[in-house]
Structure 1
Amino acid sequence: MGAALALAGALGIDPLVTAELLPAIEAVMVRKLNEHLAEAQDYI
């Protein structure tokens, strides 16, 4: 979470907005990563 806040700060995004949106963004990232890993496992 610290890295996400640092990245958002470097991009000029308010840390409070980042903290509010981070759970939703993280959920999408995890879902997409799981899809990608499942597809990669199908090739093995």
Structure 2
Amino acid sequence: MSGGAVLGWDMGTALQLGTALGLQPLIIAELLPPIEAVMVRKANEEVKHHHG
């Protein structure tokens, strides 16, 4: 977070989590960026909603 906004995920940790769940790195690399974009947008909407 920076200035009350979510900027992104820790991609190293996200890749490790995907690998631990048995996902292939190529699949993680393909799917993670669009998922991250939606989650960051939604998280920032929630922050804005709760903090005005």
* TM-score after normalising by structure 2: 0.73
Residue pairs, 1:28-39, within 5 angstroms? 28-39=38-49
Identical-residue share of aligned pairs (%) = 60
Report how many aligned residue pairs link the two structures: 42
2:14 corresponds to which letter in structure 1?
A
Rounded Cα–Cα distance in structure 1 between residues aligned with 2:33 and 2:19: 17
Consecutive unaligned residues of structure 2, counting only runs of 5 or more, are 1-10
RCO (CA 8 Å, sep 6+): is it higher in 1 or 2?
A: 2
Runs of 4+ in structure 1 off by over 3 angstroms are none
Which of these two proteins has the greater Rg computed from alpha carbons?
1
C-alpha RMSD of the superposition: 0.8
1:33 corresponds to which letter in structure 2?
A
Offset of 1:22 from its aligned partner? 1.1
* TM-score after normalising by structure 1: 0.84
